[in-house]
Amino acid sequence: MAEPTEDLQEKIALACRILAMEGCVEGILGHVSARIFGREEMWIRCRGQEEQGVRYTTIDAIRRVDFNGRGRFLGNGYQVPNELAIHGEIYKKRDDVGCVIHAHPNEALICGITDLEFRPIFGAFNIPAMRMALEGIPRFPRSFLVTRPELAAPMIATMGEKNICLMKGHGVTVTGKTVEEATVRTLNFHALAKITLQVAQTGRTAPDIAPEDVAELPDLGSTFNALWAWRYYVRKLAQEERR
Give me the active site residues, please.
Answer: 83
Chain position whose Cβ is nearest to Zn ion = 171
Backbone phi and psi for residue 141, each to the nearest 5 degrees, phi listed first: -80, -5
Residue 237 neighbours by CB under 8 Å, 6+ apart: 14, 17, 18, 21
The residue among 88 and 120 lying less far from Zn ion, judged by its C-beta, is 88
CB of 128 to Zn ion, least distance (A): 23
The residue among 83 and 181 lying less far from Zn ion, judged by its C-beta, is 83
Q: Which amino acid, 226?
A: A
CB of 200 to Zn ion, least distance (A): 24
CB of 10 to Zn ion, least distance (A): 24
CB of 31 to Zn ion, least distance (A): 8
Using CA atoms, how far apart are residues 61 and 28, in angstroms rounded to an integer? 12
Of the candidates 84, 63, 66, 83, the one whose C-alpha atom is nearest the C-alpha of residue 9 is 63
Cα torsion through 102, 80, 22, 165, rounded to 10: 0
The residue among 171 and 176 lying less far from Zn ion, judged by its C-beta, is 171
At 172 the three-state DSSP class reads strand
The residue among 124 and 157 lying less far from Zn ion, judged by its C-beta, is 157
118 class by beta-carbon count within 10 Å (0-12 exposed, 13-18 middle, 19+ buried): buried
At 167 the three-state DSSP class reads strand
CB of 217 to Zn ion, least distance (A): 32
Binding site for Zn ion (CB under 5 A): 83, 171
Using CA atoms, how far apart are residues 67 and 86, in angstroms rounded to an integer? 10
Contact 69, 80 (CB under 8 A): yes
The residue among 144 and 232 lying less far from Zn ion, judged by its C-beta, is 144
